[in-house]
Amino acid sequence: MTVNLLGLTREELTEFFVSLGEKPFRAKQVMKWIHQLGVDDFTQMTDVTKLLREKLTDLAKVAVPKLLSEQISTDGTKKWLLELTPGNAIETVFIPEDDRGTLCVSSQVGCALACTFCSTGRQGFNRNLTTAEIIGQIWWAYKALGKNPKGERVISNVVLMGMGEPLLNYDAVINTLSILLDDHAYGLSRRRVTLSTSGVIPALKRLQEQMPVALAVSLHAPNDSLRDVLVPINQKYPLHQLMEACRSYVSAGPRDFITFEYVMLKNVNDSDQHAKELIELVKDIPCKFNLIPFNPFPGSGYETSSSERIHQFKSQLVEQGYIVTIRKTRGDDIDAACGQLAGKVIDKSRRHEKFIEIQQ
């Protein structure tokens, strides 16, 4: 059975080469070829001995996802549908900005958390991605996008905000972070890698201890009764536990704040009272807010808050000294916006029915 080197950390690659009777430094060489130069053919690795190239051809591979389709939005956002194995595909999105290029990657096929406003959650959970499958999205995008006229990588930031809850695929995600941060691979700083979680507290604590990167928390509600419905994992890890974990994380993270993501749902979580509750909830946590206009999808049962309501909500937070951004909707014409990945699916979660019952 051949080994896919794409998903091995430097430590794992070192062990692999030592097992072949090779010097440990070969790991650094091969990492650079694979991740920095985008080479998947061992015969092209010219500073590796011919004998080792032959060994690698027999014993190893660099296997990346297969491109099924590419869509390009009118705003420049690109979405790739990548096949992992027959019947299992994920979506990866590149968002160009004036000062950066952000790649949004998936960590699971589907999602088990079933947040009621997220179309990915409606399709249910299929399986976790391997490290190679997560890194494969990055490898593919780096090669597809290349460098700008200045010779700089087009991708400057990576966010684990695609399909799935990263902290429910902890081991593969930690190895992915190790490769992303490795100077012999992608060499990104911890500030340029963001992990978004809905609040898997035990894994969040492990992340803080093992490999803290920039953190975004999918909050979406200021009290437990509402969040229990919108973000059902709150029933297991309620807000007081999540806030305690966030306070602790700030001390170890590469940024001195947490980003709280808050999707704006008309007449659900967008009132002045909700804003007041939110301010009280986070009062002792250094944080910023990212307000996300809801991106509709068929059968969601939700509507987007009006622009006026969103700006009023923002004003209340700003008046208390918080930095607040309203996320610009990107790629919605190709279903690449927040919460839309793999959106045209049958609802397997039935969570929205529970919400409708509560509303009645």
232/317 same-domain check? yes
Q: How many domains are there within the chain?
A: 2
Provide the sign of the torsion angle of the four alpha carbons 311, 317, 318, 320, taken in this order. Answer: positive
CA angle in degrees (0–180, nearest 5) for 91-99-159: 30
Higher pLDDT, 192 or 341: 192
Domain end position, chosen among 11, 30, 61:
61
CA proximity to 200, closest of 250, 246, 253? 246
CB 223 within 8 A of CB 216: no
Q: What is the pLDDT of residue 262?
A: 97
Q: Give the highest mean pLDDT range of 124-128, 140-144, 149-153, 257-261.
A: 257-261
Range with the poorest average pLDDT among 23-27, 78-82, 177-181 = 78-82
pLDDT of residue 175: 98
Domain boundary among 61, 80, 97: 61
User: From CA 144, how far away is CA 140, in angstroms rounded?
Assistant: 6
The phi, psi pair for 287, rounded to 5°, reads -155, 165
Burial 251-288 (b: 16+ CB within 10 A, else e): eebebebbbbbbbbbeebbbeeebbeebbebbeebebe
| pLDDT tens-digit series, residues 283-319 | 999 999 999 999 888 888 889 999 999 999 999 999 9
189 and 52 belong to one structural domain: no
Cα 311 to its chain centre, rounded Å, is 26
Whether residues 55 and 72 share a domain: the answer is: no
Q: How many C-beta atoms surround the C-beta of residue 37 within 10 A?
A: 12
For residue range 196-240, list pLDDT tens digits in order.
999 999 999 999 999 999 999 999 999 999 999 999 999 999 999
Question: Residue 201 corresponds to which amino acid?
Answer: I
Considering only 14-18, 31-35, 46-50, 82-86, which range has the smallest mean pLDDT?
A: 82-86
DSSP for 44-98, please give it.
G-TTS-HHHHHHHHHHEE---PEEEEEEE-TTS-EEEEEEEETTEEEEEEEEE-S
Both 242 and 264 in one domain: the answer is yes
**pLDDT over threshold 90, residue 347:** no
Q: What is the pLDDT of residue 115?
A: 87
Tell me the CATH number at 152: 3.20.20.70
Residues of the chain above pLDDT 70, percent: 91
Q: Domain residues for 95?
A: 66-359
Cβ within 8 Å of residue 326, ≥6 positions away:
291, 293, 310, 311, 314
pLDDT at 301: 86
Sequence-ordered list of residues with C-beta below 8 angstroms from that of 202, at least 6 positions apart, any chain: none
Looking at the structure, tell me whether residues 31 and 86 fall in a common domain.
no
Q: Which pLDDT value is given to residue 139?
A: 95
Q: What is the pLDDT of residues 156-191, one digit of tens each?
A: 999 999 889 999 999 999 999 999 999 999 999 999
109, 220, 303, 298: CA torsion to nearest 10: 10
Are β-strands 78-85 and 66-72 bridged in parallel, bridged antiparallel, or unpaired?
Answer: antiparallel
pLDDT value of residue 73: 86
Query: Do residues 249 and 282 both lie within one domain?
Result: yes
Annotated catalytic sites, by residue?
Answer: 91, 338
- Most confident range (mean pLDDT) of 53-67, 295-309, 327-341, 344-358 is 53-67
**Same domain flag for 217 and 325:** yes
pLDDT of residue 86: 83
129 CB-near residues (< 8 Å, 6+ apart): 84, 90, 106, 107, 108, 109, 164, 169, 172
Residue 56 and residue 162 in one domain: no
Percentage of the residues of the chain whose pLDDT score is greater than 90: 71
Residue 38 and residue 139 in one domain: no
Which domain CATH number covers 47?
A: 1.10.150.530
For residues 136 and 283, state if they share a domain.
yes
Which strands sit side by side in the sheet containing 258-264, from one edge to the other? 66-72, 78-85, 88-96, 101-104, 157-160, 193-197, 214-218, 258-264, 287-293, 323-326
Q: Is there a single domain that holds both residue 72 and residue 157? A: yes
Asked if pLDDT for residue 345 goes beyond 70, the answer is no
Domain boundary among the residues 61, 89, 111 is at 61
Q: Which among 291, 327, 345 is positioned nearest to 95, based on CA atoms? A: 327
- d(CA 91, CA 83) in angstroms, rounded, equals 9
Q: Which pLDDT belongs to residue 332? A: 56
Strands 193-197, 214-218: pairing kind: parallel
pLDDT exceeds cutoff 60 at 353: no
Write the pLDDT tens digit of every residue in 92-110: 999 988 888 999 999 998 8
The yes-or-no verdict on residue 360 having pLDDT over 80 is no
Average pLDDT, the chain: 89
Instruction: Classify the C-alpha dihedral 262-264-268-274 as positive or negative.
Output: positive
Reported as a pLDDT band with limits 50, 70 and 90, residue 136 is very high
Which pLDDT does position 75 carry in this prediction?
A: 85
pLDDT value at residue 330: 52
Q: Write the DSSP symbol of residue 147.
A: B
pLDDT score of 211 = 95
What pTM was estimated for this model as a whole?
0.89
Query: Which has more confidence, 47 or 120?
Result: 47
Give yes or no for residue 339 having a pLDDT over 90: no
Are 55 and 167 part of one and the same domain?
A: no
